[in-house]
């Protein structure tokens, strides 16, 4: 094998490892309202969001608040292109649909070069007009 080929193989392996580390990174989100994630009510607070699909190619997200010990694992129902405003901003996002004070997690995007994942949610009540709230996430190892 030539020196050039060896260097290219090492460079390609480095890119694959870096991409895997970036996609597996735990994110942190400050969510200022109570919300439903799947069939579980979650209090307002600081949440860690991690993709836990280590054994399969199916995305599964672990969403946890260590202060309240609230946690849930969600399997998205579908993947789609992220909203253009999200890709323009560049920050990973969580999206919630809200009616009055009832909110439900409906989508998540972990960042560049990944799809946005749609999450099934229960039907919300009619306590007020429907609105969408978005919360940006950041790497969990930052303050």
Average pLDDT over residues 81-92: 92
Cα–Cα distance measured from residue 136 to residue 31, given in angstroms and rounded to the nearest whole number: 9
Does residue 44 contact residue 34 with C-beta atoms inside 8 Å? yes
Confidence grade of residue 21 (pLDDT, cut at 50, 70, 90): very low
Average pLDDT over residues 29-41: 94
pLDDT tens for 1-18 read 565 443 433 333 333 333
Per-residue tokens: 59? 């995305």
pLDDT score, position 12: 34
Q: What percent of the chain has pLDDT over 70?
A: 80
Buried b / exposed e over 92-113, threshold 16 CB at 10 Å, is: bbbbbbbbeebbbbbbbbbbee
Is pLDDT larger for residue 104 or for residue 24?
104
């Amino acid at each position: 094998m030539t020196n050039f080929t060896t260097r290219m193989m090492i460079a390609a392996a480095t890119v694959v490892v870096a991409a895997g580390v970036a996609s597996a990174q735990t994110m942190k989100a400050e969510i200022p309202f109570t919300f439903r994630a799947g069939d579980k009510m979650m209090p307002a607070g600081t949440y860690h969001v991690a993709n836990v699909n280590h054994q399969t190619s199916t995305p599964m997200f672990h969403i946890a608040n260590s202060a309240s010990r609230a946690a849930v694992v969600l399997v998205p129902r579908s993947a789609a292109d992220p909203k253009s405003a999200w890709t323009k901003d560049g920050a990973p996002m969580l999206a919630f649909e809200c009616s009055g004070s009832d909110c439900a997690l409906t989508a998540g995007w972990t960042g560049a070069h990944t799809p946005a994942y749609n999450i099934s949610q229960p039907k919300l009540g009619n306590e007020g007009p429907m609105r969408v709230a978005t919360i940006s996430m950041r790497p969990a190892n930052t303050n």
